[in-house]
Amino acid sequence: MAASKESVAKVLNFVKENNIKIIDFKFMDFPGQWQHFTVPYTELNEGSFEDGYGFDGSSLRGWKNINESDMLIIPDPESMVVDPFIEAPTLSMICDVYEPATKEKYTRCPRNIAQKAEAYLKSTGIADTVYFGPEAEFFVFDDVRFDSTPNSSFYYVDSVEGRWNTGRDEEPNLAYKPRYKEGYFPVPPTDSLMDLRNEMILKLIDMGIHVEAQHHEVASGGQCEIDLRFQPLVTAADQLLMFKYVVKNTARLNGKTVTYMPKPIMGDNGSGMHVHTSLWKDGKPLFAGNGYAGLSEMALYYIGGLIKHAPSLLAFTNPTTNSYKRLVPGFEAPVRLAYSQRNRSAAIRIPMYSSSPKAKRVEFRCPDPSANPYLGFAAIMMAGLDGINNRIDPGDPLDKDIYDMEPEELMNVPSTPESLSAALKALADDHEYLLKGDVFTEDVIDTWIKYKFEKEIKPMALQPHPFEFGLYYDV
């Protein structure tokens, strides 16, 4: 869909009136890393939003072969924002990726997949809007080092907040370090990152992103969370990427580093990305009703779809080998595929903070912030819609604390996959629900599985692990 003349004129006028010197174009590669390139303001004109800019698609992960490398990006004028981290006055825009020969959107462009998901939802008549509200947790570290060579391997992360540093000589050590699993909500000075998170959220607000809250998270060693207001699918994904960009760069300006890696610390809580989702039509919420936890029948079927397809769904929402080091019992990780009101040990929770129908939503707690949000959000919606279309019964709710249940009680409660390999195999076997409306394609599914096995799973399997030396060196 071509940009409107009004939106293009707004960008060009903004550049002129605000003395913008640099135009930065951001777009998403296949695995989920934001990429960018830059032109001077003199290269931006009306034609930029129709003709786009060329780049080498063969240099990006999971995309083109070198013999078909030419590709285009076309900026979305509605996404313009001033970048607060670049010295020269810089306007940033998010772009869509196109095939130059046909001027059609590239099928492996994650943003295109999210856009097709929104279009498919409208075509079903079930709803016209799907909202997503992600809660992406992250760690703030002071020092990170890692290396893997043919004869050595190690990682080292450190934080002035780390409980492991209570005995370190810090000249002086001031001792306020959150206990393991007790980092949730202590006031400063135990929470040493209050000012940093405030700086992050104020930058986000200045950039037009609606922030709802910020706080320290459960783990020792600098775990934090900033919550964004729910938005329609594509906007939510766009804003999550800008959020990660702002958080990382604000930390760097303060001499710290941020990671969204799900499990960087052994023995403490990992970082999840609980995703709140709901369907609306004609401005009215569709998940409120008279059923369990105030849910509608539609919402319960949506949950049924999430539970049924969760093993394959996690190939997109939990897409790293490290993701499955978080999905283990005992660290508030939702490893059991059940639903419940208020219960945070279940994979799907129905928040009960408000009785307003507009607040009625489903919280899918399995995902983590390593996910490509365009693919993850689209897959969540497609699983939920399949549940609605096929009236999938989610079964009975599970209101007990799952971690306190006896093994025989848990025998009939399915679990999340134990590894990325298992999730990818589930995706290979169960992806018809993703192909409806041409939202995902067989090529996207096949390429995703192939890329993950060849670039991540197989190399990890070949690398000796330091812990193995303690287990096996003396055999």
Amino acid at 120: Y
Residue tagged active-site, from 76, 161, 363, 368: 363
- Cα 153 to its chain centre, rounded Å, is 28
Residue tagged active-site, from 197, 349, 365, 431: 365
Are 100 and 72 a contacting pair, CB within 8 Å?
Answer: yes
Burial-class residue 18 by CB neighbours within 10 Å (0-12, 13-18, 19+): exposed
Residue written as tokens 């059923």?
291
- State the greatest distance between any 2 C-alpha atoms of the chain, in Å, as a whole number: 72
The DSSP secondary-structure symbol of 437 reads G
Distance CA 367, CA 381 (A): 13
Residue tagged active-site, from 29, 76, 83, 135: 135
Q: Is 406 an active-site residue?
A: no
Residue tagged active-site, from 43, 46, 56, 454: 56
Q: Is 238 an active-site residue?
A: no
Length of the chain measured in residues: 475
Residue tagged active-site, from 217, 227, 268, 386: 217
Q: What residues have CB less than 8 Å from 100, skipping those under 6 apart?
A: 54, 70, 71, 72
The DSSP secondary-structure symbol of 239 reads H
Q: Is 391 an active-site residue?
A: no
State the Rg of the chain over Cα.
Answer: 23
Q: Is 274 an active-site residue?
A: yes
Q: Is 432 an active-site residue?
A: no
Distance CA 233, CA 220 (A): 32
Residue tagged active-site, from 29, 96, 118, 225: 225
Residue tagged active-site, from 36, 142, 199, 344: 344
Are 28 and 109 a contacting pair, CB within 8 Å?
Answer: yes
Q: Is 332 an active-site residue?
A: no
Q: Is 344 an active-site residue?
A: yes
Residue tagged active-site, from 118, 137, 161, 268: 137
Q: Is 56 an active-site residue?
A: yes
Query: How many beta carbons lie within 10 A of that of residue 411, not counting itself?
Result: 7
Distance CA 322, CA 41 (A): 41
Residue tagged active-site, from 274, 309, 336, 361: 274
Q: Is 365 an active-site residue?
A: yes
Give me the active site residues, please: 56, 135, 137, 217, 225, 274, 344, 363, 365
